[in-house]
Amino acid sequence: MRQLTEQETKTLFEKLANYTGSSLKNLIAPLDDSPDADRYVFRLNRDRVYYVLLSVANLATSISRDNLGSLGICLEIFASPGKFSKTGKFRLHITALPILAEHARYKLWIKPNGEMPFLYGGNVVKAHVGRWSDDCPSHQGIVVYNMSDTPLGFGVTARSTAEARRLDPTGIVCFRQADCGEYLRDEDTLFAS
């Protein structure tokens, strides 16, 4: 397990900032005001980026990389398309949803009739939108919730809020990036090395 390089950290923060906005700094801020306060850090182990407490990451240094299966919350598995090493970009994994949902700047709520199409890997169409954050620009990271405020996944807006209001009911308003249905669809390969 190692720290991210400067370029890897920059790429990761740019991707996370697309979803969290200015609350990105809350991800790495100390948990309290004491001088020895613990904080969360990002660590890389075998092509995976983890979000973990610093105290736990320090304890994990005594375990060899080959024997360490997982640690903290996995944000990215590089077996997916896009790698730090070649393209400089990466794709956030569904396991990042709790972090994104807690710090999301823009949110989209879908109606009950739109939950299953989204969880089966479909994009969100205007007819399925219950409500969403005002003044959301196009091509912005957004977290998708059901009407009971349960996070279902995340994606990227296809249109701004103003443009989406003029769309027909079958127009796409959000391109799906990841959804909770991946836990079932990809259970054989989700955490495989």
Token reading at 161: 């809020």
Q: Which residue would you say has higher pLDDT here, 31 or 158?
A: 158
Residue 85 pLDDT: 47
Instruction: Say whether pLDDT at 184 is over 60.
Output: yes
Q: Which residue type sits at 64?
A: S
Read off the pLDDT of residues 51-73 as tens digits, 9 standing for 90 and up. 999 999 888 888 887 788 788 88
Token reading at 11: 């790429």
Token reading at 168: 């027909």
Taking domain 2-100, whether its CATH number is 3.40.50.720 is answered by no
What is the band of 7 on the pLDDT scale with cuts at 50, 70, 90? confident
- Name which of 22-31, 67-76, 83-92, 94-103 the model is least confident about: 83-92
Token reading at 61: 């240094």
What is the band of 27 on the pLDDT scale with cuts at 50, 70, 90? confident
Cα–Cα distance list, 41 to 22, 143, 155, 182 (Å) = 17, 22, 24, 26
pTM: 0.84
For residues 73 and 3, what is the distance between their CA atoms, to the nearest angstrom? 15
Instruction: Say whether pLDDT at 100 is over 70.
Output: yes
Instruction: Say whether pLDDT at 50 is over 50.
Output: yes
The whole-number average pLDDT for the span 104-125 is 95
Cα–Cα distance list, 126 to 135, 139, 152 (Å) = 16, 16, 17
> Mean pLDDT of all residues in the chain?
86
Residue 193 pLDDT: 52
Residue 45 pLDDT: 81
What is the band of 79 on the pLDDT scale with cuts at 50, 70, 90? very low
Instruction: Provide the percentage of residues in the chain whose pLDDT is more than 70.
Output: 91
Read off the pLDDT of residues 33-48 as tens digits, 9 standing for 90 and up. 777 778 889 988 877 8
Measuring CA to CA, which residue among 106, 98, 107, 104 is closest to residue 75?
A: 98
For residues 90 and 82, what is the distance between their CA atoms, to the nearest angstrom? 5
Taking domain 106-184, whether its CATH number is 2.30.130.10 is answered by yes
Residue 191 pLDDT: 64
| Domain residue ranges in the chain | 2-100, 106-184
Length, in residues, of the chain:
193
Please spell the DSSP secondary structure of 108-157, one letter per residue.
EEE-HHHHHHHHTTPPEEGGGEEEE-TTPPTT-EEEEEETTS-EEEEEEE
The whole-number average pLDDT for the span 80-89 is 49
